[in-house]
Every structure is written in structure tokens, then in C-alpha cells.
């Protein structure tokens, strides 16, 4: 009989990241099912996440586990054949085409407004806060919104397009504090319905619409946490849309998660359970997409702030779980915790970044946007 060496191999791999099996550190994992080891070797990221959801292993500090795991790039030590298919699939197909644009809403953003109310700040911002002087999540999100408004040089009466507006957090803040008119677009019915309710009485219109269908002119165009859904085959299409819809003296703005290297496929577990067809851009991919269309006026990086934001969301989710758990189940709870804490570890390890980018059309006056 051939001895199964999968357990020894996983132990050796995890040891490279100073992660123990059934050890005493809070980032060590406790294995409850011996099938775990072979599953990780066979299915990599997908197997790691699904086995956690299935209760095959636990960890007191998933965020610290992933910080060490990703900092050591353990995922590059084993390359299962299934990942090759994902790369080929992303090369052949446009996974973020218009016909697929609403998939992420069905899978993620329409999960239930009760979940997001329980997890997010009072303005329901589902993107990184700005913690430079903030003491809590509400302050960090308001600081982020105000920072964006100032970078956009918003003034009363300006018309703003918010691509991927979520529940209207930015639209409401900009209309209330800066007196602008906002058109927000989202692919989520749940977001659109609640967003219109929250923005009632303000010069805000929220539409259920794909960004490629917008054809009007605006003084300012902003996207906050939406560029992650555009996909590398559509980055140039996105920039051309912004160029077409932005007035000549206008300002465009992108707030996005980014990666240190260019990729053409999503993480298999995140793609299946959290963000179908999602993709994080690199500096080179964004630069190539905007070349010849825009002047890059300001590029602000503050990825560590997303670590703090995700940990705050996780705390809120835990604190309010009893209020919402009747609408979900224990497997969802484990899945959601895994998602939030894995992402926190990714930012802590510096494998993922958070960028704010300000752009103008060539030949226009430089705006006052370097205020970070």
C-alpha cells in the first residue's frame, strides 16, 4: 500500500509560513477531518475555502492565518490542474460581458439588505474607509466620502455620474453636503430599491443599469468599488465610456482594489461564492486602459486602511449575527467570516492594495486633487 503523504506535505508547506497544524498559536489551524489534506492539494483555494465552510478545520484568527499564508505566497507552491482551466476560460471568454453583468448582483449584492445593514456603517458604504484621523467605522467612511468629494472639486449644481452606486451612500453625501445632482447606476435591484428610499427628497436618481448603456454628459464621473467588476477585457471599454460621457473640463475618479501584478482570472473560491466574474486590476492594466484618453492627475494608495475596514465589518457581522441569522444558515456564517477575514489578511500582507485615481482629459487645467 502506498502511503498518503498529503498530510506531511501540507504540514511542510504551512511551516514555511509559520503556520502550525493543531498548534497553540491563534493563527494555527485545527483539522477535524483528515480528508482536508488531500482536498487542499487537489483543489487549492477552492478546497481550502469549501473545507472550512464544511467544518473540516478551524482557526481562532483567520485574518492572521491568511496574512502569513499570503505573505509567504504558499498558493504558488502547488498548482492544481483545475486552475489551468480557469486561466484558459478567462482568455477565451469575456467573463464580464454585458450579458453577464448582473450575475454578481444575483450572487452577492442581492443577498439581503439586512445583512449589509448589520455589517456596514450608518451610510452603508461597501468599500474601504479612510482611517487617517478616524476613530471608528462611521468616521472612516465619512472621511472617505469627503475626501472623494474634495478630489472631484464638487460644487453646487454640478452633475455627477456614480458608476456602481451601491445603496447611494456617496450620492446622498455629495447631494447633502456639496449640493450636486447625482445619477447613480447599479446592477443590483436590492441596492437600487433601498438607495432610492435613502436618497428620497434629494437631487439623486438611482437606476438599474449597466455602465455600458450610459450615454449622457456629466461634469464628474466617479466609481467607488466597482472597477473590480469590469474585467481586463473591458478596461479600455470602461475608459472610453468615461471619456465619452465626461465633459471636456470634467474630472473622473476611480476608487478600486488593486493587485501588485496583472492577472486574467479570479480566485476560484471568491469567484464561486462571493464575486463571480470579479477581477482586480494592476497598475499596468489601468495605465494601458487610460493611455491616450486621460491625464493621471493623482494616484493615492492606502491599502492598510482596508484591513481596518474589513475587521470592523467582521466585528459588526459577529455582533449582529443573532439579529439576522434566521435568514441564513451556519454554512453561510462560516463562508462570510472566511471571506471578510481572508480579505483582511490579503491587505495586511500587502498582496492587495487600495487606490484612488483622479483623471482629466488632455489639455485641461490641472484640478486641485492632491489633498490626501
Structural domains of the chain, ranges and CATH numbers in brackets: 6-79 (no CATH), 97-360 (3.40.50.150)
The DSSP string of 335-359 is HHHHHHHHHHHHHHTTSEEEEEEEE
> Does residue 338 register a pLDDT over 50?
yes
CA atoms within 13 A of residue 30's CA, in its CB half-sphere: 9
| C-alpha to C-alpha distances, 144 to 122, 147, 367, nearest whole angstrom | 14, 5, 19
CA–CA separation, 359 vs 348, rounded Å? 28
DSSP E strands in 242-282: the ranges are 246-259
How would residue 87 be classed by pLDDT, with cut points 50, 70 and 90? very low
The predicted model gives 93-101 an average pLDDT of 46
* Residues acting as catalytic residues: 343
Average pLDDT, the chain: 89
- Quote the pLDDT of residue 98: 52
Instruction: Report residue 258 as a C-alpha cell.
Output: 488593486
The CA-atom distances, in angstroms, between 252 and each of 6, 102, 157, 353 are 51, 24, 17, 20
Q: For residue 306, what is its C-alpha cell?
A: 482596508
- Residue pLDDT, tens place only, 288-299: 999 999 999 999
Q: Where residue 108 falls among pLDDT bands split at 50, 70, 90?
A: low
Amino acid at each position: 500500500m502506498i502511503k498518503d503523504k498529503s498530510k506531511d506535505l501540507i504540514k511542510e508547506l504551512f511551516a514555511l509560513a509559520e503556520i502550525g497544524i493543531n498548534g497553540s498559536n491563534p493563527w494555527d489551524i485545527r483539522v477535524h477531518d483528515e480528508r482536508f489534506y488531500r482536498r487542499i492539494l487537489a483543489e487549492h483555494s477552492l478546497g481550502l475555502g469549501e473545507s472550512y465552510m464544511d467544518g473540516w478545520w478551524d482557526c481562532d484568527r483567520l485574518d492572521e492565518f491568511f496574512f502569513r499564508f499570503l505573505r509567504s505566497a504558499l498558493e504558488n507552491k502547488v498548482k492544481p490542474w483545475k486552475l489551468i482551466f480557469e486561466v484558459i476560460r478567462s482568455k477565451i471568454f469575456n467573463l464580464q460581458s454585458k450579458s453577464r453583468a448582473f450575475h454578481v448582483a444575483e450572487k452577492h449584492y442581492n443577498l439581503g439588505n439586512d445583512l449589509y445593514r448589520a455589517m456596514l456603517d450608518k451610510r452603508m458604504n461597501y468599500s474601504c474607509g479612510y482611517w487617517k484621523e478616524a476613530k471608528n467605522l462611521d468616521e472612516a467612511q465619512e472621511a472617505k466620502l469627503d475626501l472623494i468629494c474634495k478630489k472631484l472639486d464638487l460644487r453646487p449644481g454640478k452633475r455627477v455620474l456614480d458608476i456602481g452606486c451601491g445603496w447611494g451612500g456617496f450620492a446622498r453625501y455629495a447631494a447633502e453636503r456639496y449640493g450636486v445632482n447625482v445619477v447613480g447606476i447599479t446592477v443590483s435591484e436590492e441596492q437600487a430599491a433601498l438607495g432610492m428610499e435613502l436618497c428620497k427628497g434629494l437631487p439623486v436618481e438611482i437606476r438599474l443599469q449597466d455602465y455600458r448603456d450610459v450615454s449622457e454628459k456629466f461634469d464628474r464621473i466617479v466609481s467607488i468599488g466597482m472597477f473590480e467588476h469590469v474585467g481586463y477585457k473591458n478596461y479600455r471599454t470602461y475608459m472610453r465610456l468615461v471619456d465619452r460621457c465626461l465633459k471636456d473640463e470634467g474630472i473622473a475618479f476611480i476608487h478600486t482594489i488593486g493587485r501588485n501584478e496583472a492577472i486574467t482570472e479570479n480566485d476560484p473560491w471568491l469567484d464561486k461564492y462571493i464575486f463571480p466574474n470579479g477581477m482586480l486590476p494592476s497598475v499596468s492594466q489601468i495605465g494601458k486602459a487610460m493611455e491616450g484618453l486621460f491625464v493621471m492627475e493623482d494616484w493615492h494608495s492606502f491599502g492598510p486602511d482596508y484591513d481596518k475596514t474589513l475587521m470592523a465589518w467582521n466585528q459588526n457581522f459577529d455582533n449582529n449575527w443573532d439579529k439576522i441569522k434566521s435568514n441564513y444558515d451556519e454554512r453561510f456564517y462560516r463562508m462570510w467570516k472566511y471571506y471578510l477575514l481572508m480579505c483582511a489578511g490579503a491587505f495586511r500582507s500587502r498582496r492587495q492594495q487600495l487606490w484612488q485615481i483622479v483623471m482629466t482629459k488632455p489639455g485641461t487645467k490641472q484640478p486641485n486633487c492632491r489633498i490626501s
